[in-house]
Amino acid sequence: MQPAITSPVHTPWYRQLYVQVLIAIALGILLGWLNPDVAKSMKWLGDAFVALIKMMIAPVIFCTIVHGIASMGDLKKVGRVGLKALIYFEVASTFALLVGVVVGEVVQPGRGFGADPATLDPKAVAGYAAAAEKDSFVAHIMALIPKSFFDAFAGGDLLQVLLVSILTGVVVLQLGERTQQINHAIETMGQIFFRIIGLVVKLAPIGAFGAMAFTVGQYGLASLGNLLGLVLTFYITSLFFVLVVLGGIAWWAGFSILRFIAYIKDELLIVLGTSSSESVLPQMMKKMEGLGASKSVVGLVIPTGYSFNLDGTNIYMTLATLFLAQAVGADLSFGQYATIILVAMLTSKGASGVTGAGFITLAATLAAIPNNPVPVAAMTLVLGIDKFMSECRALTNLVGNGVATVVVSAWEGELDRDQLNAALAHPVKSAERVEAKPIEDAL
């Protein structure tokens, strides 16, 4: 039985991370509005923060997955949890893709845009198009395999890190008496990496300030013009998906999506400022354990979800594809719609939530449509607002992965219901209580 939630030690408001991030975001917006030139020079602060986080993501995922698999005790449980997670990911991803299609057809945000494909400059998206040309089923399979064991960590490719981590975890689990010793060593390594990230996260307000200042200074809200409709449509669609689709799943699993969102508010604010869901991976793992999910399930589902459960990216790809088709006056057939959904389901895998990943997958999706009436060059129409879209993608991905972890834990029978109910009865206080613990406790 989980003890009753007690009031955490009072922390002055100015020392609370979410307050610092909110203030930083507000200051970034203000600087971008008052002095765009100076604001644009702040971009490196956001880039540096995300780079510091990404530097540690590969080793953290490796230690977490290996420790999680080795702690499960038998391969049957590993396979069972992994299969349940993948089933959930695919169902949720399909819903997200369909929601994007339905909203795109009903709202038609690109109708009347009147863009002439002949006047579009393909040079602006040449890099994304080149990446898309290499994207195919075979390319995806080959991309899973690193050149060497350590190349996966050097390159930071999450799918390659997942492959290496799963193989290592399975082997460690089969080492008999040595499993416990090796697992202890992996756990200790993980604690070191978690401590490093714990130090880096304290810089989140600086990163959020730099990223938001650059965004407003570079693009400016007034410059969005007709594209503002697409931005609003995407945000409203994502909110609908979170509250209705994920909210329905949460209700079925026995918890409130609104209380869950309040529980992870700090992580959401950091993602809002940095446009990267990777920046809060360790904190999310700790928070999910605080809700009563077992360590082994959290250690497998959360890292895997960062590559396979990208609800926000899926919504964006179908909605943006339909927007571009409508903007250039192209009519898509039923077969092309089906291809978009199937291709998007493949290309979204491995988009880790970092700014720009969703844009590359959009290019890959457009390039794969048969007899495509929408040129990849049409992406120039949404290039200027991708930063705004990236924030929403990352936020939706984060909530989706959190809900997935609780659901899979409940499905596996390893969710402490008393702890879940106690934590969400007072979500803000519960979150502060969890945050007061060392971050490496999530391992």
The pair of structure tokens assigned to 52 is 């510091």
CB within 8 Å of 274: residues ≥ 6 apart: 46, 49, 50, 204, 207, 208, 211
Q: Is the dihedral of CA 328, 334, 335, 340 positive or negative?
A: positive
Across the range 143-166, mean pLDDT stands at: 80
As a whole number, the mean pLDDT across the chain is: 79
CA pair distance 215, 223, nearest whole angstrom: 12
pLDDT at 406 over 80: yes
191-240: per-residue pLDDT in tens?
A: 888 788 778 878 888 888 887 788 778 766 554 455 677 888 999 999 99
Residues 36 and 214 sit within 8 Å (Cβ to Cβ): no
- Listed by start position, the domains of the chain span 13-442
7-46: per-residue pLDDT in tens?
A: 444 667 667 777 788 888 888 888 888 888 888 888 888 8
- Return the CATH class of domain 13-442: mainly alpha
Across the range 355-366, mean pLDDT stands at: 63
Kindly state the DSSP code that residue 125 receives in the 8-state scheme.
Answer: G
More confident residue, 164 or 159: 164
Kindly state the DSSP code that residue 392 receives in the 8-state scheme.
Answer: H
Q: What percent of the chain has pLDDT over 70?
A: 78
pTM for the full model?
A: 0.75
- Residue 353, sorted as left (phi over 0), alpha (psi -120 to 50) or beta, turns out to be left
Residues 399 and 264 sit within 8 Å (Cβ to Cβ): yes
More confident residue, 386 or 188: 188
95-111: per-residue pLDDT in tens?
A: 999 999 999 889 888 77
